[in-house]
Amino acid sequence: MLKPALKNDRYLRALQQQPVDRTPVWMMRQAGRYLPEYKATRAEAGDFMSLCRNTELACEVTLQPLRRFDLDAAILFSDILTIPDAMGLELYFETGEGPKFAKPVTTLKQIEKLAVPDMGSDLKYVTDAVSLIRQELDGAVPLIGFSGSPWTLATYMVEGGSTKNFSKVKKLMFAEPQAMHQLLDVLAESVIQYLNAQIEAGAQSVMVFDTWGGVLSPRDYQQFSLAYMEKIVKGLTKTSEGRSVPVTLFTKNGGQWLEAMAATGATALGVDWTTNLAEARQRVGGKVALQGNMDPSVLYASPQRIEQEVQEILKSYGRGNGHIFNLGHGIHPEVDPEHAAAFIEAIHKHSPQYHD
């Protein structure tokens, strides 16, 4: 089926460091719990994973923020833990406690039984959602597909859910490094196939979320996280529908490793608020575009304070191309949607002066 021409490709152009009229903007977790319409749709679905698996409702919540705000991209509504769930670990969500697995993986024997999920059956609900969202977007803005990084997925799989001290996953990493590498290897291959399936279904850009890479030492980050993200970048479909498919890597608290991340071949890097954007731009030397990097908590402040922060970040990046404005992590559930609107309007108002 011939897909409609893209009416707004500002985000894709910025990823390629091409000229744009203003800095494009989208928000991590822009489809989510801060929106009353999302809460209503989730209630209709029954629970979070039922919402993810319902093609029509996943499409609906993906489009909700675009009806409210003038954003430059849509991001697929899904979860980073769909791959381990498809591997048989049985993902579920406890209210107030985040994701959990009924069958965590802790031994080499369990790891050896893991296989790359079948994208055409086990994860078809994700690619079906991508196809429907592309159809419903009708070329308005590009669609971003995504996955968790192998290290981040492994963290949840071994810990059985969220963790504060990462004791189980680090014990496996240090006590049985070969078992950990075997786990990361099957996850990297799964992520490659998963993102390529999303691209085939219509995703025009993809992002790898390395939420927990920042808990590793520099040596261990290179060996257990970055090496597998580099493998993913190399294995991804490079072009689709006659244009390149950019890939963004984002390691939370990973600002110290930007040069190494830029050397992977990624198109862009996500930057959180703990890194100075001017310094980040200088350090990557034009190798990659940069996405970020406002502290999501600024959205609790007044619209005037939000506008001031936007101006400071724009000034920090400076003139020229290759910046995608975003929060440094996902928008918080308690944020007033009007404050998100003020954030987006401030970027529209103040960013054109930084572009020719």
pTM for the structure as a whole: 0.97
Tell me if 149 sits within 8 A of 160, measured CB to CB.
Answer: no
156 annotated to bind ligand: yes
31 annotated to bind ligand: yes
**Residues 43-56, mean pLDDT to the nearest whole number:** 95
Per-residue model confidence as pLDDT tens digits over 213-232? 999 999 999 999 999 999 99
pLDDT surpasses 70 at 350: yes
What was the pLDDT predicted at 93? 87
Catalytic residue, candidates 42, 68, 283, 305: 42
C-alpha to C-alpha distance for 205 and 144, rounded to whole angstroms:
5
pLDDT surpasses 60 at 1: no
pLDDT surpasses 60 at 140: yes
- Percent of the chain past pLDDT 90, that is, above it, reads 96
193 annotated to bind ligand: no
The single-letter code of the amino acid at 171 is K
pLDDT surpasses 80 at 112: yes
The residue ranking higher by pLDDT, 137 or 96, is 137
Q: Which of 92-106, 129-143, 163-177 has the lowest mean pLDDT?
A: 92-106
Catalytic residue, candidates 156, 221, 228, 317: 156
pLDDT surpasses 80 at 95: no
Tell me if 180 sits within 8 A of 105, measured CB to CB.
Answer: no
What was the pLDDT predicted at 303? 98
What was the pLDDT predicted at 163? 93
* Average pLDDT in the chain: 97
What's the CATH code, domain 10-354? 3.20.20.210
Catalytic residue, candidates 68, 79, 305, 354: 79
Q: For tokens 């159809």, what's the residue?
A: 135
Per-residue model confidence as pLDDT tens digits over 151-164? 999 999 999 999 99
Nearest C-alpha neighbor of 103 from the set 161, 54, 155, 146? 161
What was the pLDDT predicted at 83? 98
